[in-house]
Amino acid sequence: MPEEKLIAEQTHIRCKTIIEVLGKPMGHVEDSIRDYVEKIKKDSELIVMNADFSEAAEKKGLWAVFVELDMVVKGIQKLIGFCFDYMPSSIEITKPEEFAVKKSTVENFINDLQARLHNVDMVVKRQKNENTFLKKNLVKAVSNTILLSLATGGMTMENLSRATGIAEKELKVFLDDLIREDKIKKEDDMYSLVKN
């Protein structure tokens, strides 16, 4: 039978895909990618024909491993869902060569994409707010630690570093801020509280 345009919703799609995992320790990364593939295999609309795992490789202190999957996916919507759910780094469709796509398939794809993008945007905004809150409170905590350390008397940068557990280079940023806020002063190499 000559290959003709197939309805995308009903077509079994043969594809090759690569999924990567990065992290540490090495054993955890290797276990994670194998667990990921087992999860994919449990989906009745994703048929894994072959899974070719790479050896773990170290990259800048982290371990990277990937798997190349040869798969059959039941329909274009499932393939799109697979991409959203499993975030493969690449997809190569080997069969069929062409699809006939209904308008509703394109609309569903765009609406699903928009819903997922809105969800990602919400997560990013929430994370940004949490990070801002944590940063603000961390600055307060470090500043209070410095002020408490200086409550017993003047200290050098080296002594403050030992008392707070903060490296001198990072500590200088907080000390400069406290001087600008007129909470501490520096005379010679000694830092002390400003008396009110």
Q: Which domains does the chain have, with CATH numbers?
A: 6-101 (3.30.70), 142-193 (1.10.10)
Contact 87, 11 (CB under 8 A): no
Predicted local distance difference test score (pLDDT) of residue 152: 87
Take residue 138 and report the two structure tokens written for it: 């961390």
pLDDT digits (tens, 9 = 90+) for 25-64: 888 989 999 998 999 999 888 899 999 999 988 888 889 9
On whether the pTM is more than 0.85, the answer is no
> pLDDT higher for 106 or 17?
17
pLDDT in tens, 59-97: 888 899 999 999 999 888 888 888 888 889 999 999 888
- Alpha carbons 168 and 157: distance in angstroms, whole number: 7
For residue 2, cis peptide bond before it (omega within 30 degrees of 0): no
Q: What is the pLDDT of residue 87?
A: 87
Stronger pLDDT, 35 or 5, i.e. the higher one? 35
Beta bridge partners of 178: none
- DSSP characters over 2-63: ----EETTT-EEEEEEEEEEEESSHHHHHHHHHHHHHHHHT-TTEEEEEEEEPPPEEETTEE
Q: What is the pLDDT of residue 61?
A: 86
